[in-house]
Chains A and B, each alone.
Chain A
Amino acid sequence: MLLAVFTPSDSRQVSPDATLVQRLLQKDVNAFETLYDRHSSIVYAVVLRILRQASTAEEVVQDVFLQLWRNAGLYDESRGAFRPWLLTLARNRALDHLRLKAERQRRREEQAEELPSVAMKPDFEGSLDDKRRAERVRALMTQLHPQQKRALELAYFEGLSHSEIASALKEPLGTVKSWIRNGLLRLKQELQGAS
């Protein structure tokens, strides 16, 4: 089941990621290398989407993976799968960076600009699973109302709260709350159905 991938507390099988993280505690460089190769693309893509600057994004990705290396014990397998945990860590770092550097305004001004071409590749080089999941999420988003999709993007990639999104989209607060909750529930159902 796909859901089992992100709720391993329901699963009795130890995921390979979790095993690799355990090996990090023994300072196993090969385990780190495998985890990096497996997750760095999606982590970098998210951080780059938030920060919109390749060099800064790489700094944040480096910090995230070094934190993983130095504090692997922070990951608790019983509380969820590794990738969501890692992505949450990376996203929070990127959003913190965005807030601390007051780059939000600058990012909005640069929104029309294209992302650095050197950092972009036509396809993920990761597993087919990554590719399928990406297609599934994007397909779902096309089914949502454009403002609903925008609300989710503002929340995830810009770290805006309900009220900030309502202000940005000029929509009632209650509507925004419903959009976000319903959008996430639809995504959850979609993933459960696909699994």
Chain B
Amino acid sequence: MSGKDPIRDPFLELMEAYALGALDGEERAAAEAHLANGCEECARALAEARAVVSELAYLAPEAQPSDILRGRLLATVRAEAAAAKGGNVAVGKTTMPWWMWAAAAAVLIFGIYNGYEARSLSEQIRAMQGEIGEQQRLRQETEQQLALAKREAVILTDPRSIHFPMPAGKSGVPAMQATWHAGLGIVVSGQGVAAPSGNRTLQLWLIPKEGGKPVPSLAVRPDAEGKFDLLVPEPPGTQAVTKALAITEEPEGGSPQPTTTAMWVGELGAK
């Protein structure tokens, strides 16, 4: 107690309620203004009242904060103390609690695993894309072969095609068979034909009616059994200007002009 008669200073009676925070608006504002004016007696009374009010804390049921809170606070405080003193903060002891490091490690491992998984997936995708490309290429080739086979079949069976033999210049060598469709191309077939030596090939030539130079066409090599079917979808000449077809033996890939004597010759329309 101040020892002073409260009647002489009515604000003294308000200090308990002010310390408790129970004063309503006007009374609180008046008490604050009074204290702000520097009333030492009321300031002293307020300090005492605050001490008494704080004793009401013991009415709260007993409770303990968790150890986690203590650890978190001390970790923070140690880190700040180290920073304030300019020292290095020991990792794991001060900057972060263990569980945060564990979480960070888990995220890192997860990231590495994710990266590995992503790389593995990318490789799998690339492999699958390669396989798909290869399949598409094979399919295109098959479709092309099928289209050529169909074209060849039509050439061989269409009544508008002309068929004529291509006998060999040497005896004992089997003749070839030629079929020419004006719109679809030429098919030359052979069986029991000996393959040229090395990588040499058999090349088809169109012999013009007017006696010009032989016109080069495609080349082919018979298989192991001496069989072949040479399809020329777009012949370098027409039936109207061509007198005969001839085949010579040429280097691999063919030649722009014959380098050997024709081994097979067939005149258009010959029987």
Complex interface: chain B residues within 8 A of A161 (CB): 21-24
Q: Mark B45-69, 1 if CB is under 8 A from A, else 0.
A: 0011111111111111111111001
Extra 6 A-B pairs, beta carbons < 8 Å, given A45-B61, A87-B57, A123-B62: A7-B51, A29-B78, A36-B74, A121-B63, A181-B17, A187-B56
Main secondary structure on A side of the interface with B: helix
Residues of A with Cβ closer than 8 Å to B? 3, 5-7, 9, 27-29, 32-33, 36, 40-42, 44-46, 48-49, 54, 57-58, 61-62, 65-66, 69-70, 79-81, 83-85, 87-88, 91-92, 95, 115, 118-125, 130, 133-134, 136-138, 141, 152-153, 155-157, 159-163, 165, 177, 180-181, 184-185, 187-188, 191
Residues of chain B lying within 8 A (CB to CB) of residue A44: 63-65
The reply to whether B62 and A65 form a contact with Cβ atoms under 8 Å apart is no
- Kindly provide the distance from the CB of B39 to the nearest chain A CB, expressed in whole angstroms: 14
In the assembled complex, which residues on chain A have CB atoms less than 8 Å from the CB atom of B48? 3, 6-7, 188
Q: Smallest Cβ distance from B84 to chain A, in angstroms?
A: 5
The reply to whether A66 and B76 contact each other, CB–CB distance below 8 Å, is: yes
CB-CB under 8 A from B90, the residues of chain A are none
Listed A/B pairs (23) with beta-carbon separation below 8 Å: A27-B81, A40-B70, A45-B61, A45-B63, A49-B59, A49-B60, A54-B66, A62-B69, A65-B73, A66-B73, A81-B51, A84-B50, A84-B51, A84-B53, A88-B53, A119-B65, A120-B61, A134-B58, A161-B21, A161-B24, A162-B17, A162-B22, A191-B55
Q: How far is the CB of B145 from chain A (nearest CB, A)?
A: 75
Establish whether residues A41 and B24, one from each chain, have CB atoms under 8 Å apart when the complex forms: no
- Closest Cβ of chain B: how far from A105's Cβ, in Å? 19
Select B22's contact among A70, A118, A125, A160, beta carbons within 8 Å.
Answer: A160
Contact between chains at A61 and B22 (CB < 8 Å): no
Given the known interface contacts A7-B48, A88-B50, the answer about A162 and B58 at a Cβ–Cβ threshold of 8 Å is no
Asked if A48 contacts B51 (CB within 8 A), the reply is: no
3 smallest A-B Cβ distances: which pairs?
A6-B51, A84-B54, A49-B60
Quick check: B65 and A156 within 8 Å, CB to CB? Answer: no
The answer on a CB contact under 8 Å between A42 and B56 is: no
Task: Contact check, B56 vs A62: say whether CB atoms are below 8 A apart.
Answer: no
Chain B residues with Cβ below 8 Å from A115 are 61, 63
How close is B29's CB to chain A, nearest CB, in angstroms?
13
Q: Which of B24, B59, B61, B73 contacts A62 (CB 8 A)?
A: B73
Known interface pairs A27-B84, A161-B23; A45-B51 also in contact (CB < 8 Å): no
